[in-house]
Chain A
Amino acid sequence: MWRFCVLLLFMGMSVSASATPVTLPLDNGLTARANFAPGRPGKPAVLLLHGYLQTHDFPTIHRMFEALAGEGYTVLAPNLTLNVTHRRQSLACEAIHTHTIQGDSREISAWLHWLGARHRGPVALIGHSMGSVGLLAYLEAYPRGRVGKFIGISIVEGRLKHDESGRQDKLAEMRDRMAQNNRQPVTEQFSFCQKLTATPESLASYMQWSPEHILKAAHKLAVPIVFIMGSRDDRLGPGWTDRLLKTPARVHVVQGANHFMDGEHEFELLDLVLKELADL
């Protein structure tokens, strides 16, 4: 409980004091936005990445940003542009999604590069939900980065509403569309979107990160990987946590927590994160 009180104190002090909006012009002409909080020297830097279509204002990320900043960590919480310059809002499911997980990786890379210019210590990547998948994709795309640890909170694949057996078929369909240069957006039930309007390329890029792909990445990546999962996360596929536990990654299960780790569980999450960052 005392940590809770300290956290509230830090949150109250840090919201206005530490968070600084920053922008980053990208190679594709877009400008990305992020909240940045420089930390105390000697403390590692943390890049916090929001979930699918969300922003750094998503509560789980926001609370985490504030807590870590309050702990003296240099924290950068970018908003993926999702091909929207200066994006400030979560992108609706019904919006025309042209962004790809590869583009997300490029933006993460750009931000890490931006962060490297401002922080010379180790960097930890913390992602929430599919943001964790995006970070895995970055790690897979940029294996030689200076990332010291990856913490995936409530990591989950971009789930189709169909059973996973249909993922390959849908993925094949998207690739087929792409092959035919058919860029007509499609509407699918994907992740939390009932009707996601996305180009085949966009949808395919996220669909290719199937649970197996995640598990494979957990096995393959050299970066220390930590998963923090809620015991009551109903967005996960059946046996997903168990399957994670079978990976080399260290897996923390917060009992009673849901997908967003809200309420009193966010403090346990914070404790776990701080504990994981402590050895960085």
Chain B
Amino acid sequence: MRRLFEEVSISTLSAAFIVVVALLVAGMGAHMWVELQNASASIRAREAAAGRKEISQATHALAQRMRDISANLAGWDETRQQLVFDEYYTLWRDVRLKDARIVPSGVVAAALYHKGGDILIPDREGRMPARLPAAPPILVHARESGHDYLYSYFPVHADPDRAVLLGYGAIKFDFLAEMRTVQSFRYTDISTLSVAVPGTGLVPLENLAARLKFSIKANPDVEALHKLFLHAYGRQLLATLLVLAVAAWFTHRVLVRPLRLMSEEIKALQSAGGTLPSAERLTGPVSVLELADVRRAFNDHQRRLAEMHRNLEQSNQDFYDQARRDALSGAFNRRAFEEDWLELGQVGHCRGCNLLLFDCDHFKAINDTYGHPVGDAVIVAIAACLRQALRAGDRLYRIGGDEFATMLRDTPLRMAEAIAERCLEHILVHDFQQYGVAEPVTISIGLAHADSEEGLSELQKQADLAMYTAKRPGNRKIVVYDESIGQVSALVANREVSLVFQAIRLPQLLEFRYQPIMRLPDPVAEYVEALARIRLDGELIGPAAIFPIVQARRLDSEFDLAVIAAIRRDLDLDLPALARGVSINISAPGLLNTKVIQALEALKAAYPARKVVIEITETALITQMGPAVQHIERLRLAGCLVALDDFGSGYSSLRYLAAMPVDLVKFDISLVHQLRQEGERPRKVVEDIARMVLNAGYELVAEGIETRELLDKVTEMGFSHAQGFYFSDSHGQPPAG
């Protein structure tokens, strides 16, 4: 019950109160009505008893009256006169008797009888019996022609001592008239009076009361009281209903509505996701002081809540923005990217959706070389350049350390490419030297385009692949994904990534194509370059697929260690290809990794008689030149030779050459192939560079020797070594013929 009342609304309570009051009033009225009915019934019972008493008294009075009248008539001298001399009896009976008023007017008829019982003279109408019915005196009731009469038969004596009987007298009364005469009936409806007459037609008067049937008069006072009560109760009920209606309206206006509004406000506040209602809803005239105080306090509280809510919303918005903004660059972060990407997928509207991935080339090297403040400045500058290049409304996301992305909706591929070009140009023209970065800062852009929702799911992967493709040396810095890249994608699919990780964990999965490096001028194989690949279950994954994964996953050092371990394995197997020595490609991060250096030292120590060349790719930006030089020195001290790989294809080739104490310089295939060009200048440049390097005391290795003509050329130029398909196929085997 208590819970029930706790959950009842004020509307229900007030309505219940009104109903209870109305029922109470109605109940009181009903109770009063019942009491009135009981009182009326009691009054009717008393009146019935009084009526019976009235009738009994009336019959007694009537009997006495009849006796008195009879005695009066019997004692009247003229009665005796007629009994003795009846000559004028008829006149006496019809005229004198009435005129003398010896008998009242209610006497219908009178007659005198001889002592023998015969009537003196019958009247014409036969109103009186011709003979006495019994020995007088008697009082009887008779029903004649449906009318009730009373008869009084009495003896008439000559003397007061009643010793001398002269005859008899009889008088006839109208019963009802006499009843009305003898008594005023307050309770009995005398008009309903009837007599249950036996077969004889005569009822002795003493038995008459028991045979009377009658109704009790409707009590006008009771009826008036009923009417008065009904009128009063009706007026009271009407007044009560009016009062209740006014009270209901007033209660609703003053209490219920304000409370309900407040309750609704509170419920709205409690509901999940409910918005703060307007406090003005509770304004208006309120008559209840306490309620006004509560409402005022509630309004104040609500205003404060609204203000808090606005602050919270602002804070939430700030938090939301902060949570979705990259604090450094001001671009949206990866979370925002993922949410927007999810929203894009949920919307499902993808006609001309483009995903552009931006990746700063060699950012880690820049960061490591110039420090984090410079790296941060580069990131901020890249972000600013990209935002400037993007259209208004295009969102720029920083989804990784140096990776940015943007989604271009409803944009044709051509326009997306133009935007990508603009981004690239903004980066190229930006002066990064202001941050102390000497090297040019470039970005690689992968663009994937989809014209339908079906292509949306692959868009990220495609853009990723395109971006990785763009990062590869010699490729355009903007790569639009197409099916050819899709083939590569198979290599960088999850399975391939897994294989790279497995190879790092299990170096036995690594295989090498040992490409011979020939000593010139008479090409003699002096040692081999180990070109890594991964084989698993008959499937072979080459360097073109491996190294983007390694670089993307920052697995350079780990992969270098795996390669070293695998080469050690092959050395231990005493493979013939490794009889004279081996050249191992080490990544820039690997050069800086002590474990890698130690592994190389250990390898050299294990095979001191064999030539071990450490190739450091020139395309990888060596940021920490000092430690790199130290490690090179350690390797050289251990007996290793150090070669600068891919010279002429990457960053500051000459700076590297000048800074690093390498033994060999491997001209990149692109540089070597310049020698095949018909133009004089390119070939001259290459020749001059080669001469310069040779003059500096380095040995030169020409990569990409595919023809005898090219071999002769490099031999002529003084290259000490050469390698290429001219000497072996892609599998490291000597070419046929």
Residues of chain A whose beta carbon lies under 8 Å from any beta carbon of chain B: 23, 29-31, 83-89, 91-92, 94-96, 98, 183, 185, 197
Contacts and interface: CB of A to CB of B under 8 A. Distances in A.
Given A23-B159, A86-B159, A98 B96 contact: no
Nearest to B84: A85
A31 B77 CA distance: 12
Interface residues of B, number: 19
A197 B96 contact: yes
A92 B91 contact: no
Interface of B: 76-78, 80-81, 84-85, 87-88, 91-92, 96, 99-100, 158-160, 164, 166
B262 to A, nearest CB: 103
A183 B40 CA distance: 67
19 contacts: A31-B158, A31-B164, A84-B78, A85-B80, A85-B158, A86-B159, A86-B160, A86-B164, A89-B76, A91-B77, A94-B99, A95-B77, A95-B96, A95-B100, A96-B78, A96-B91, A96-B96, A98-B85, A185-B88
A64 B106 CA distance: 42
A158 to B, nearest CB: 20
Contacts of B92: 96
Contacts of A87: 77, 80
Contacts, number: 56
B88 A98 contact: yes
B159 A31 contact: yes
Contact of B87 (A94, A98, A197): A98
The A interface is mostly helix, strand or loop, or mixed, namely loop
A111 B503 CA distance: 186
B389 to A, nearest CB: 154
A88 B100 CA distance: 16
Given A31-B158, A31-B164, A88-B77, A83 B85 contact: yes
Ordered nearest first, which 7 A-B pairs have the shortest CB separation? A96-B88, A84-B81, A84-B77, A86-B158, A89-B77, A87-B77, A95-B78
A92 to B, nearest CB: 6
Contacts of B85: 83, 98
Q: Which of B77, B80, B85 gathers the greatest number of chain A CB atoms within 10 Å? A: B77
B78 A86 contact: no
A23 B164 CA distance: 12
Given A31-B164, A83-B81, A183-B87, 13 more contacts: A83-B84, A84-B80, A84-B81, A85-B81, A85-B158, A86-B77, A86-B158, A94-B100, A96-B78, A96-B81, A96-B88, A98-B87, A98-B88
A116 to B, nearest CB: 24
A229 B616 CA distance: 198
Contacts of A92: 78, 100
Nearest to B157: A86
Contact of B84 (A30, A89, A185): A30
Contacts of B78: 84, 91-92, 95-96
A182 to B, nearest CB: 13
Given A31-B164, A85-B166, A95 B81 contact: yes
B84 A29 contact: yes
A34 to B, nearest CB: 13
Contacts of B100: 92, 94-95
B77 to A, nearest CB: 4
Contacts of B158: 31, 85-86
Contacts of A94: 96, 99-100
Contact of B160 (A88, A98, A185): A88
A172 to B, nearest CB: 23
A121 B92 CA distance: 44
Contacts of A84: 77-78, 80-81, 84
Contacts of B159: 23, 31, 86
Contacts of B164: 31, 86
B81 to A, nearest CB: 4
A92 B102 CA distance: 12
Contacts of A95: 77-78, 81, 96, 100
B163 to A, nearest CB: 10
Nearest to A23: B159
Contacts of A96: 78, 81, 88, 91-92, 96
B102 to A, nearest CB: 10
A30 B166 CA distance: 11
Contacts of A23: 159
Nearest to B102: A92
Contacts of A197: 96
A89 B79 CA distance: 12
A87 B159 CA distance: 9
Contacts of B81: 83-85, 95-96
A85 B79 CA distance: 10
Nearest to B99: A94
Contacts of A86: 77, 80, 158-160, 164
B110 to A, nearest CB: 15
